[in-house]
Structure 1
């Protein structure tokens, strides 16, 4: 498809897609618990050579083949596993041209810092046709949406934002209207107010509202426009908005020879710092969850009080600091759904008419309180961590 209409970040050299568990691969085995029987049978010894590790892996596969009936769909099975990988950080972003203040660009990427370097021409490979126009560089990344469960969902969100006047994710009646009362015919809308309004419409749409997406804004002016909400479009209460509005551009106050000092005008250090903090938080939650296995053999689910079998899949942990709550996957998800169902019924009871009622009755959770610490956990974060743990233990 012509780059003019499909400005997504799908580079052939995109090594981040295969590294969705990149922070897991950096863990040192000696830093993880090894006391429990479950870990002793899964984690390789710290002194094991690569050859020995390969032999152990082969033996494990042989045992699995003996226990399971012959299956000709091994390749399909591997593809199915790949399908359920959660990207650590895949975002849909908005760029603003610094020389041309009214020029914007929408894209998506698993590595916002590298992608920004491509758009500004610091990396020769990659980038997009529209951001190479004369007089448009440098670009600044002013906001991005993240927390997508897959690359596909992020690309769907990107395309819908670029084509907000035709996307199926925004109801026809809710699309922005031109001055003549007709639906906006300028795709995602030409100005920043239209783009932010369409972003709000997508975040509240049935196709994305249940993903637990988060938004970070990196520019004071854009944040002011976001708060002014010219089109008066409400934002779902569970959408988290983070503000990182530092005005200093890269190259200011940096020492000679610093890599970032050559990228005048962009906010590379700011984006890199945010990515490091976000992935660091995920890594800490992951490591803490793994270490809890060491004293979890006799632990019970915080809801049903039934002991949790460590060999079962998708064990869930509260991610709040100093809380060691441990859950069955089904127990906690059902508890969150019940909590949301009660809220839904209350909103329906107080609605003025049919149009004022919530769009969807909850079937899957978005967020819910930990029954032990009483603090909110977002379901997509809990599930992402549970999948990462299973991925690590099965590798």
Structure 2
């Protein structure tokens, strides 16, 4: 069976799940669609993991996640390392902070029990190791106390994350009231229904994450037009002619810019200009993966992952592009439909 290459996914995440009933119950998983996956864990949709199926622990909540993985395989690799930090080869032996002394019957080390603190500490560690430290990842927190625990660890850990790693928060704008210490009174089903707030709630957290390519629509449209009409011109980095269809060409993601360059030229241009270069003399010569920088034509900010998403969509995602750019036919109004009907009858 031949595996067809796919474009970089619109979204792939590794998430931290916590039981809202018992906060010590935690689960780590990966998914391209966090809202759907959470519904599976909570039994609203078929699927989910056996470990999250106990009714006594539901509902579950996603308190944090890491996004920006370039493929499902990449996310699964990170998920496995975060779930098994005691044996992951991505973590150097001298840096390991999770250990296990017990063994299974087959001789393998047992997975040590995890806490929110240990997960956050190992997450911080994995984001620093050579295997992942230059991936285009982004960390999200959706619970204030979890983010506070993260900040506390970051403040005490001497090894710092790279400056270009983005950490964001998005907390519930209307959190439920704290539970009363008194024994709750039993209510009828009708009383519960009457007390339910039917006002539409503002979307937040995982509900706001883009699970498709819609945010890239204008970028994809621009690139499609430039390359279909062969307006790529000369490379904006090396200034050499770029013959149509004879190389991997990358276009600036900024709306008003049509700057195009060779893939290798963009890479060389962006590597020396990373913002974590504190001495201003370029990065380590071992770095081969850019993160972000400035477009040499419009001087606007560009992110390497955005440009690679567009490039892989153009090269491998014909169906995804067609779906993204497909124009919907406007619905006929009732008056127009009636007029058309009357015209047919006459």
* TM-score after normalising by structure 2: 0.73
SS in 1 for 2:210: helix
Q: How many residue pairs were aligned?
A: 292
Q: 2:242 aligns with which of 305, 308, 312?
A: 308
Q: Is 2:197 the counterpart of 1:271?
A: no
Alpha carbons 1:119, 1:127 under 8 Å: kept: yes
Q: 1 or 2, which has the higher helix percentage?
A: 1
Q: Is 2:233 the counterpart of 1:299?
A: yes
Q: In the alignment, which residue of structure 1 is the partner of 2:269?
A: 335
SS in 2 for 1:93: strand
Using a 3 Å threshold, how does the CA distance of structure 1 residues 393 and 116 change in structure 2: closer, same or farther? closer
Q: 1:191 aligns with which of 111, 115, 121?
A: 115
Q: In the alignment, which residue of structure 2 is the partner of 1:223?
A: 147
Q: In the alignment, which residue of structure 1 is the partner of 2:70?
A: 149
SS in 1 for 2:209: helix
Q: In the alignment, which residue of structure 2 is the partner of 1:98?
A: 20
Shift of 1:253: 4.7
State the superposition RMSD in angstroms.
3.5
SS in 2 for 1:324: coil
Alpha carbons 1:188, 1:195 under 8 Å: kept: no
Q: In the alignment, which residue of structure 1 is the partner of 2:339?
A: none
Q: Is 2:293 the counterpart of 1:368?
A: yes
**For residues 90 and 298 of structure 1, what CA distance do their matches in structure 2 show?**
31
Q: What do the CA deviations read for 1:161-196 (whole angstroms, capped 9, x no partner)?
A: 011121111112212268xxxxxx984762222211
Q: 1:322 aligns with which of 234, 247, 256?
A: 256
Q: 2:171 aligns with which of 245, 254, 257?
A: 245
Question: Which of the two has higher C-alpha Rg?
Answer: 2
Shift of 1:347: 8.3
Shift of 1:108: 0.5
Q: Is 2:32 the counterpart of 1:107?
A: no
Q: What do the CA deviations read for 1:321-371 (whole angstroms, capped 9, x no partner)?
A: 43332211121112223445994986899xxxxxxxx7x821232333211
Name stretches of at least 5 consecutive residues in structure 1 with no aligned partner. Answer: 1-74, 179-184, 262-266, 350-357
Using a 3 Å threshold, how does the CA distance of structure 1 residues 174 and 154 change in structure 2: closer, same or farther? same
Q: In the alignment, which residue of structure 1 is the partner of 2:86?
A: 165
Q: In the alignment, which residue of structure 2 is the partner of 1:126?
A: 47
**For residues 381 and 252 of structure 1, what CA distance do their matches in structure 2 show?**
42
* TM-score after normalising by structure 1: 0.64
**For residues 97 and 297 of structure 2, what CA distance do their matches in structure 1 show?**
44
Q: What do the CA deviations read for 1:251-272 (whole angstroms, capped 9, x no partner)?
A: 97545xx8xx9xxxxx986423
